[in-house]
Amino acid sequence: MTLQARDLPHVTSAVSLTTMQYPLRTPFGITAVPVIHRNDSTYYATDRAKVLQDRRFVHNLISEDATALTVVLKTVNQSTYDQSVELMGALDSLLAQYRFASVHTLGRQYFQRDMVAMQKREVLVSTSIAALLVIAVLFFIFRRWATVFIAMSGIGLALLFFLAVLSLMGRELNALAALYPILMCIVGVADTIHITTKYMDELEKGRPPGAAIRVTLREIGLATFITCITTAIGFLSLLTNRTGPIQDFGVNAAIGVVTAFVVIYGWLWIWLPRFERGRLIKVTPEYAFWGRFMDWTYLFTRAEGRKIAWVSAGLLGICLVGISQIHTNYRIKHNLPRGEAITKDFLFFEEKFSGFRPVEIAVFPQGGRLADDFAVLQEMDKVEAQMRTYPPIRTQSSINDLYRSLNAMHNGNRPEAYRLPDNEADFERYKRLAERAPTAAAEVLLSKNRDKARIAARMQDVGRDTVLLVQNSLENWIRGNTDSTVARFKITGTGVVLDKNSMYIRDNMLQGLIPSVLVVALLMALLFKDARMVLIFAVPNVFPLFFAGALIGYLGIPLEAGIATVFSIVFGIATDDTIHFLSTFKLCRSRGLSVEQSLQTTLAETGKAMCLGSVILFFSFLVMLFSVHPPSVTVGLLVSVTLAGALFCDLLLAPVLIRWLIRDKSVEQPVPGSMVGPEQGPFLGSVTSASA
């Protein structure tokens, strides 16, 4: 199988224990003998004992318990998706010719093919489940199929436009793509709920459909547009993340939000006037409940404002304690899809072989030495010996392996002879021999001008915090036990980059949102022209971010790049209800209503839409529980619970803040720069006195 694998497309070499050879020095020169005498069973016992004592092979080409072998395929660099599919198809066909007891695969091409297939399946499944769930909730609320049709056809059209835009822009889907259909449902349903409920309220006041839709879009159209912008800004805050897929998710989500607004806004403008109120909603006890609940909410916030403030302060303290418990001890296996073959294969290699996490140590010779000088290699040998004392590090390789092999060759290939030569004279002799027959390993472990070298190792998936402990311990050992005048060492590589990115996310998880919060606050200042309204807007929207961080800490969820998206999603979506709430309140105030009258009207009109929208948002994100991608499941659960907390802030905390900061005056004074008069709103355009 190894020999045939060399002919697979995009494969440059294939090796296994069955093709390995020991170099052997004879009086007639250097020859080679097979590591395993495949055709002579009398050698099997001897070969087995010798192989299992050789650290070049154990955990690399054979498992420690000798129950599994590997065939290592070297492929062309940076394989494309099409190349990966072609290679894996040919490999599957080759494996089908053999009767192996079991086969496990690990590698970039395998992951690339299967993860893309999983992402396509996830998008289809999440879209179907989210659509069915939203249909069920919409019908339960409105009890009219016309409303369900208008909402779902608008959302479906918006999703198609969104995918078309991504395709035209050449943007790729990644593991978080399963969230896109849900985000489109969320944005679409939120806009649909607010516009539809306002439209039906206007119909109830006796307006004809055409006038009702014009008043609806005039009064809450700008507010809906602002929610679109703030949601997009929340997702764009992910650009501060150093992980490419997270940045792509943020940009794509922002594109989706804007696309959904444009499509659904136009769709509702066309279709809503075609229906009378009775065809859009059937007033049931369940629907009437929301009106009674809003009346109760108004009375409760008015009577228990102080208690609400104290409870909010207490919850904030609890959140800060939870945030302090956040850790980043994530494991790669936590991000792999549940129950999928790629996860089982990863765990198999993790158990039987050297692990997946790369560890690289760069070696810089000092004092004018070259990286393959004997003194430098001796310092490297010390570091490698220390690395072998850490159980998670099972294998490592360096240019020293070449000279250890040559030393073993000159000593009968005995396992104990696999070490650096004892003196520099023997080393120089081996070096001249190595220069006459250069190996491929030397090219990747030693630079061409020999001014640097590297030690390449692999570590088991023991968790990021455990890895950091090993790295710190190794760095301290190097400082105290190596000669820095001969060589200096630096731990580096992709594993270190990923770990530093995790630390960056943990220490700056809210810092990336600060620019977005400031931009949205500035937008609110321009919109409301009142610093008090900006403060009232900020508190209910920042509070859910602390709540999300506390949940991550208390639930012991490792913070990594995928989980960090929770904060942007929560901020982007939570601002929607707050903007609608404050916009309606400001509109009522502009009509000459008192603070209490404005709050009561706002809760009666906007509060109902906020609750109905939040119910749909809550269950829409719970759809992610059906995902096989663990970060998506965690994001869905966290966002669902956190958005419930955001609704609490908008309905209970915002009215308390309004009563504290905004007071009635005996005579209403015009606000500079705003439109005044009982028939005009400060920023949403004119309304008729009948709507007041």
For 140-197, what is each residue's pLDDT tens digit? 777 888 888 888 888 888 888 988 888 888 877 765 666 677 677 767 777 787 788 8
Instruction: Name the token pair of 133.
Output: 């769930």
Q: Answer yes or no: do 73 and 220 share one domain.
A: no
Residue 597 contacts by C-beta under 8 Å, 6 or more apart in sequence?
588
- Do 173 and 322 belong together in one domain? yes
In this model, does residue 382 exceed pLDDT 70? yes
Does 64 share its domain with 155?
no
Statement: residue 606 has pLDDT above 50: yes
On the question of pLDDT at 46 being above 50, the answer is yes
**What residue has token string 């069955």?**
18
> Would you state the pLDDT for residue 241?
65
- Between 568 and 615, the higher pLDDT residue: 615
Spatial CA neighbour of 292 closest among 603, 636, 545, 671: 603
156 and 98 in a common domain: no
SS3 assignment, position 458: strand
Question: Is the CA virtual torsion 145, 146, 151, 153 positive or negative?
Answer: positive
Beta bridge partners of 463: none
Rounded-to-integer distance, Cα 632 and Cα 570, Å:
14
- Distance, in Å, from the CA atom of 447 to the CA atom of 435, rounded to the nearest integer, reads 14
pLDDT on residue 98: 93
Q: Please report whether residue 336 resides in a domain.
A: no
pLDDT in tens, 443-491: 678 888 889 999 988 888 887 778 888 888 999 999 999 999 999 999 8
pLDDT tier at 386, thresholds 50, 70, 90:
very high
* Domain shared by 416 and 472, yes or no: yes
154 and 13 in one domain?
no
Tell me which residue of 426, 417, 332, 334 sits closest to 377, measured CA to CA. 426
What's the pLDDT score for residue 505? 61
Average pLDDT over residues 82-98: 94
Can you tell me which residue has the tokens 């001969």? 486
Mean pLDDT rounded to a whole number for the chain: 82
Domain tally for the chain? 3
Q: Quick one: 105 and 116 in the same domain? A: no
Do 148 and 220 lie in one domain? The reply is yes
**Looking at residue 431, which CATH number applies to its domain?**
3.30.70.1430
Type and span of the H or E element at 33: strand 29-34
Greater model confidence, 477 or 623: 477
Same domain, 484 and 374: yes
The structure tokens 């009968």 sit at 412
Sequence letter at residue 444: V
Q: Which residue type is seen at 346?
A: F
Least trusted range by pLDDT, from 188-197, 198-207, 241-250:
241-250
The reported pLDDT for the residue numbered 677 is 35
360 conformational bin, left if phi > 0, alpha if psi -120 to 50, beta if neither = beta
In the predicted structure, residue 85 carries a pLDDT above the cut 70:
yes
Residues 90 and 134 in one domain: no
Mean pLDDT of 494-502: 67
Residue 317, both tokens: 């303290």
- More confident site: 350 or 186: 350
Percent of the chain predicted with pLDDT > 70? 88
311 alpha-carbon distance from chain centroid:
32
HEC string of 585-630 equals: HHHHHHCCCCHHHHHHHHHHHHHHHHHHHHHHHHHHHHHHHHCCCH
Residues with Cβ within 8 Å of residue 209, at least 6 apart in sequence: 203, 272, 273, 274, 275, 276
* Cβ(257)–Cβ(232) below 8 Å: yes
Judge whether 346 lies within some domain.
no
Q: What pLDDT, on the 0 to 100 scale, is given for residue 668?
A: 43
Helix (H) or strand (E) holding 369: none
Mean pLDDT is lowest, of 244-248, 260-264, 282-286, for 282-286
Domain presence at residue 193: yes
Q: Find the helix or strand (DSSP H, E) in which 358 lies.
A: strand 357-365
Question: In this structure, is residue 514 part of a structural domain?
Answer: yes
Confidence band (pLDDT; 50, 70, 90) for 207?
A: confident
Domain closes at, from 82, 110, 138: 110
Residue 690: pLDDT band by 50, 70, 90 thresholds?
very low
pLDDT of residue 174: 65
Q: Above 50 in pLDDT, residue 34? A: yes
- Confidence band, pLDDT 50/70/90 cuts, at residue 511: low
Mean pLDDT across 380-395: 91
Residue 443 and residue 310 in one domain: no
* Domain span holding position 69: 2-110
Within 8 A by CB and 6+ apart from 173, the residues are: 119, 120, 123, 166, 180
CATH at 255: 1.20.1640.10
Give 555 or 365, the one with higher predicted confidence.
365
- State how far the Cα of 617 lies from the Cα of 624, in Å rounded to an integer: 12
Asked if pLDDT for residue 73 goes beyond 90, the answer is yes
Which tokens belong to 494? Answer: 């992709």
Does residue 518 share a domain with residue 647? yes
The residues, any chain, with a CB within 8 Å of residue 622's CB and separated by 6 or more, are 636, 637, 640
Look at residue 222 and tell me if it is in a domain. yes
**385 located within any domain:** yes
561 or 187, higher pLDDT = 187
Using the structure block, give the residue that is written with the tokens 């998706």.
Answer: 81
For the ranges 27-31, 355-359, 448-452, the maximum mean pLDDT occurs at: 448-452
Q: What is the pLDDT of residue 198?
A: 81
pLDDT at 684: 33
The two tokens of residue 328 are 């980043």
User: Strand runs (DSSP E) across 443-507, as ranges?
Assistant: 453-459, 487-492
In a domain, 649, yes or no: yes
Q: Is 522 exposed, middle or buried (0-12, 13-18, 19+ CB in 10 A)?
A: exposed
User: What are the tens digits of pLDDT across the range 584-603?
Assistant: 888 888 888 899 999 998 88
The CA-to-CA distance between both ends of the chain, in Å, stands at: 81
Q: What is the pLDDT of residues 323-337, one digit of tens each?
A: 888 877 777 787 788
Q: What are the CA-CA distances from residue 236 to residues 162, 311, 513 (Å)? A: 16, 32, 9
- The lowest-confidence range among 130-134, 377-381, 587-591 is 130-134
Q: With 70 as the cut, is the pLDDT of residue 675 above it?
A: no
The DSSP 8-state label assigned to residue 69 in this structure reads B
Report yes or no on 171 lying in a domain: yes
β-strand pairing of 357-365 with 71-75: unpaired
